Amino acid sequence: MKQSQFETRHQAEWQAFEEMLRTLERGKARTPEAVAGFPAAYRRLCQQLALAQSRGYSMRFVERLQLLAQRGHHQMYRHQSPLSGRLLGFVLGGFARLVRTEWRYLAAASLIFYLSLLGMAALVLAFPELVYSLISPEQVAEMEAMYDPDAIRLGRFGERGSADDWVMFGYYVMHNIGIAFQTFAGGLLFGLGSLFYLVFNGLIIGAIAGHLTGIGYDQPFWSFVIGHGAFELTAITLAGAAGLKLGAALVAPGRQTRGEALRLAAATAVRLIVGATFFLLIAAFIEAYWSSMTYPPAPVKYAVGALLWLLVGVYLSRSGRRFHAPE
């Protein structure tokens, strides 16, 4: 069946389903009688989404059905599962499924961020003075002190001991979550803010990496960042993906008004940023209690870091494929 015929046949049904969703989302009807047909309508929509995907209908059309299905899933389970169950379902499978659904935005954010990072690192290695075009001499000196091979704890300015690990954990949480929310909220500027923060953070990190590698501090620096980097850098790109999702809704709202398109995109984008925040909490814990240690040999830290990168990759690519826990 052609896409146009498929749309014509089910358009009225989708509009009725969307009206039910609006009623539930506004809290105007919560009784079983008021939405008696909602579960059956939700199941039919999921079947129609699967058909649209298998027949290779247009990406915009499939995304529209996906948004309706996501909203329907949320309303279907929000009053059937306790908050703890929904959070557990989100962590164990819902978040990874969401990331796979929005892989195009994540791929775009990752490409922008890592190209900026690697490009600037290569330029600073080739032209060492270039680092001062982005970072002040005072900040460069601080970075050198933080990653001095003779430092007691890596990644810290001054002689902080293990008793201060919890202080650093709090600092990393606030600092990194602040960067993530800047990147996410920048999407409201038609995506330009998210693009700016992805490029800017990539350039800064790349400049630091290139400079420290160039002066011979490569082992303490890379053994420090490889552990928590799996979660932290992935979280930055997830925040960028969420921001780009908002920006795309404003730039190309399709048949909807910009306000309606933004509202629908925000339902997905907010869940992405929640998952990114979860990643940043893990990254902050690893950074404070593991990455800063100097006594584990560098090969051990590299091995642990590689394992964590593998864990993130497996989680995002495989989690939630075999079961559908409540979100």
pLDDT tens per residue, range 82-120: 556 667 777 888 899 999 999 999 999 999 999 999 999
pLDDT in tens, 269-317: 999 999 999 999 999 999 988 988 888 899 999 999 999 999 999 999 9
Read off φ and ψ for residue 128, nearest 5 degrees. -55, -35
233 has pLDDT over 90: yes
Predicted pLDDT of residue 38: 81
Q: What is the pLDDT of residues 130-183, one digit of tens each?
A: 999 999 999 999 999 999 888 777 876 554 444 577 788 888 899 999 999 999
Residues 210-223 have a mean pLDDT of: 95
Answer whether residue 260 shows pLDDT above 50: yes
N-terminal to C-terminal alpha carbon distance within the chain? 33
Average pLDDT over residues 16-30: 76
CA geometry: angle 244, 250, 255, nearest 5 deg = 125
Residue 1 clears pLDDT 50, i.e. is over it = yes
Token couple for 204: 């800064």
DSSP string, 61-111: HHHHHHHHHHHHHHHHHTTTS-HHHHHHHIIIIIHHHHHHHTHHHHHHHHH
Dihedral of CA atoms 182, 276, 190, 249 in degrees, nearest 10, equals -160
Question: From the centroid of its chain, how far is CA 306?
Answer: 20
Query: For residue range 31-79, what is the model confidence (pLDDT) as tens digits?
Result: 555 566 788 888 898 898 888 888 888 888 888 888 888 888 877 766 5
Q: Are 102 and 246 in contact (CB under 8 A)?
A: no
Cα torsion angle, 46, 50, 52, 53, sign: positive
**Looking at residue 78, what is its pLDDT?**
64
**CA 245, 250, 255, 257: dihedral to nearest 10 degrees?**
120
Contact 286, 227 (CB under 8 A): yes
Distance CA 315, CA 318 (A): 5
* More confident of the two residues 148 and 210: 210
Spatial distance between the Cα atoms of 75 and 128, rounded to a whole number of angstroms = 55
Judge contact between 264 and 252, C-beta under 8 A: no
DSSP letter for 296, please.
S
> What mean pLDDT is predicted for residues 204-228?
95
Supply the mean pLDDT for the chain: 87
